[in-house]
């Protein structure tokens, strides 16, 4: 699986891969660009069929997306990297930590879980999008989960939601089902990379129980909770998010 990507930062800096959430693209991490690029060689990628990535020609799973990310690193001659992923992107990073430890320096798992929500809910959302022929059908519901009431009508939030509405429905549905199928709870102990778990204090999907599963299951993992943020904490509270990420990753160079 080939994924489109963008690279920023100073050549020779440690690689940092940024993996987006379902229904978003490389644009999700624009709030981090000016802060993280001076520290890392940032690699932002698109999910299958999102942004500039081609529509998937094979069944989509978190594993297949993760292998696509490894393909990006291979194209850049990057043997190792740190990884920061949001929601579905966090699942991708988690899978790499457990299954490709030789490629991973450090992990930031944001607004994600080893098992997130109910499989049938993800599949119902995928069916809704396919039947409607547009991801616009889920924008209102997603808006409630992604942002707090105080932030939902901000220009930054509206831009992200407009991008969601533009994602092809089949690509969104395929990635939505991949998120619903994902369950890494039994393999969390395989993750050896230093790991930071980041959660928005007002995230209705990533509950304290979800965070506890990650922190208890990944050896040495730490939790940071971002106040006044829902699911997309990196967009809603970029300064707090960036501070947490840099504080965790600054020792990742090898």
Q: How far apart are CA 104 and CA 194, in angstroms?
A: 9
pLDDT at position 239, please?
A: 95
Measured in degrees and rounded to the nearest 5, phi and psi for residue 136 equal -60, -25
150 assigned to some structural domain: no
Spatial strand order in the sheet of 81-86: 5-8, 41-45, 15-19, 81-86, 104-110, 195-200, 222-226
Say which residue, 108 or 117, is predicted with more confidence. 108
The parent domain of residue 107 ranges over 5-115+182-249
The pTM of this model reads 0.95
Reported as a pLDDT band with limits 50, 70 and 90, residue 250 is confident
What are the tokens at 39?
């520290």
Is the pLDDT at 244 greater than 80? The verdict is yes
pLDDT of residue 34: 86
Confidence label for 251 from pLDDT (cuts 50, 70 and 90) = low
- The whole-number pLDDT of residue 10 equals 87
Token couple for 53: 């990535």
Average pLDDT over residues 213-226: 96
Question: Over pLDDT 90: what percentage of the chain?
Answer: 91
Average pLDDT estimate for 130-151: 96
| Count of structural domains, the chain | 1
Interval 162-181: pLDDT, tens = 999 999 999 999 999 999 99
Quick check: is 16 in a domain? yes
pLDDT at 179: 98
Is 135 within the bounds of a domain?
Answer: no
Indicate whether 133 belongs to any domain. Answer: no
Listed in order, strand segments (DSSP E) in 22-95 are 41-45, 81-86
pLDDT category of residue 1 using cuts at 50, 70 and 90: confident
What is the rounded distance in angstroms from the CA atom of residue 142 to the CA atom of residue 164? 9
For tokens 């547009």, what's the residue? 134
The answer as to whether 228 is a domain residue is yes
Beta-bridge mates of residue 43? 7, 17
88 lies in some domain: yes
Within 13 Å, how many C-alpha atoms sit on residue 191's CB side? 32
- Return left, alpha or beta for 15; rule: phi > 0 is left, psi -120 to 50 is alpha, else beta: beta
Residue 136 lies in a domain: no
CATH number where 104 lies: 3.40.50.1820
Nearest to 99 by CA among 187, 185, 22: 187
Residue 66 has pLDDT above 80, yes or no: yes
Radius of gyration of the chain (CA): 16
Which has the closest alpha carbon to 167: 26, 49, 28?
Answer: 49
Within a domain: 126: no
pLDDT for 58: 86
User: In the beta sheet, which residues pair with residue 108?
Assistant: 84, 196
pLDDT at 252 over 60: no
pLDDT in tens, 147-167: 999 999 999 999 999 999 999
pLDDT-based confidence at residue 253 (cuts at 50, 70, 90): very low
Q: How far is CA 30 from the centre of its chain?
A: 14
């Amino acid at each position: 699986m080939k994924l489109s990507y963008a690279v920023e930062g100073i050549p020779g800096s440690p690689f940092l891969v940024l993996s987006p959430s379902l229904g978003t693209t490389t644009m999700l991490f624009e709030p981090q660009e000016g802060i993280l690029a001076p520290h890392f060689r940032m690699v932002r990628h698109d999910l299958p069929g999102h942004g500039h990535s081609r529509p998937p020609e094979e069944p989509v799973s978190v594993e297949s997306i993760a292998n696509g990310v490894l393909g990006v690193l291979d194209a850049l001659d990057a043997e190792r990297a740190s990884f920061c992923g949001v929601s579905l992107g966090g699942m991708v990073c988690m899978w790499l930590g457990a299954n490709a430890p030789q490629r991973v320096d450090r992990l930031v798992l944001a607004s994600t879980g080893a098992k997130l929500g109910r499989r049938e809910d993800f599949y119902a959302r995928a069916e809704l999008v396919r039947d409607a022929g547009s991801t616009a059908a889920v924008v209102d519901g997603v808006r409630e989960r992604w942002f707090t009431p105080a932030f939902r009508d901000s220009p930054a939030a509206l831009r992200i939601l407009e991008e969601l509405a533009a994602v092809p429905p089949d690509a969104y549905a395929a990635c939505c089902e991949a998120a619903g199928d994902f369950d890494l709870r039994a393999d969390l102990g395989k993750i050896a990379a230093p790991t930071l778990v980041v959660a928005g204090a007002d995230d209705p999907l990533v509950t304290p129980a979800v965070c506890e599963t990650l922190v208890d299951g990944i050896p040495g993992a730490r939790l940071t909770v971002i106040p006044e943020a829902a699911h997309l904490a990196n967009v809603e509270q970029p300064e707090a998010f960036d501070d947490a990420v840099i504080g965790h990753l600054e020792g990742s160079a090898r």
